[in-house]
Amino acid sequence: MPVVALVIAGAIVAFEQLVQLQFGVMGLIGFLFLTIGVKAKHSGCSAVGAIVLATLLLQT
């Protein structure tokens, strides 16, 4: 079980790095807002993160 958790954590960190590489700091901030909002079940926080990521995706 710890190996699976370690692999999942590594995949999440790799995805965050990919988002930051592709979209910069704003992409990382949007991803963090979205993640925190989903985990905390706070719709406002997740909406802000989704809007930031959508805006960055539409610009490129």
What was the pLDDT predicted at 8? 85
Q: Which is higher by pLDDT, 9 or 1? A: 9
Exposed/middle/buried for 33, CB within 10 Å: 0-12, 13-18, 19+?
Answer: buried
What was the pLDDT predicted at 60? 59
Calculate the alpha carbon distances from 12 to 15, 35, 44, 50, 59 in Å. Answer: 5, 11, 23, 17, 24
Tell me: the pLDDT tens digits for 20-50?
778 888 888 888 898 899 889 889 999 999 9
8 Cβ partners below 8 Å, 6+ apart? Answer: none
